[in-house]
Amino acid sequence: MKKIKDNLIEPKEADFIKAFYWENSSLFILDQRKLPLKEIYYKANTLKKVRYSIKEMLVRGAPAIGIVTAIGVYIGLKEAQSKLTFPLAKKNLLSLFVRIEKSLSSARPTAVNLFWALKRMKGVFQGFINKIPEGNLGQRAFEELLKSLQKEALSIWEEDILANFKMGEYGSNLLPEGGILTHCNTGALATGGYGTALGVIRRAYEKGKKIFIWVDETRPFLQGARLTAWELSKLKIPYKIITDNSAGYLMKKGKVRAIIVGADRIASNGDTANKIGTYSLSVLAKEHGIPFYIAAPSSTFDLTLASGEGIPVEVRNEKEVLTCKRKLIAPAGAQAMNLAFDVTPAENITAIITEKGIIVPPFSQNILNVLKNG
Active-site residue list: 264
Q: Is 340 annotated as a binding residue?
A: no
- What does the alpha-carbon distance between residue 265 and residue 310 come to, in Å, rounded to a whole number? 10
60 annotated as belonging to a binding site for a ligand? yes
CB 194 within 8 A of CB 188: yes
Please tell me the distance from the alpha carbon of residue 115 to that of residue 54, in angstroms, as a whole number: 13
Residue 127's CB is within 10 A of a number of other CB atoms, namely 10
Interatomic CA distance for residues 207 and 205, integer angstroms: 5
62 is in an annotated binding site: yes
Q: Residues 311, 110: contact at Cβ < 8 Å? A: yes
Largest Cα separation within the chain, whole Å, is 70
Helix (H) or strand (E) holding 207: none
Is 99 one of the annotated binding-site residues? Answer: no
Q: Answer yes or no: is 274 a known binding residue.
A: yes
Q: Say if residue 108 carries a ligand binding annotation.
A: yes
Q: Is 223 annotated as a binding residue?
A: yes
Q: Which one, of 261, 298, 253, 4, lies nearest residue 156 by Cα?
A: 298
Stretch (H or E) spanning 246: none
- Report CA 62 to chain centroid distance, whole Å: 2
- Binding residues, by number, are 60-62, 108, 223, 274-275
- Binding residues for substrate, by number, are 60-62, 108, 223, 274-275
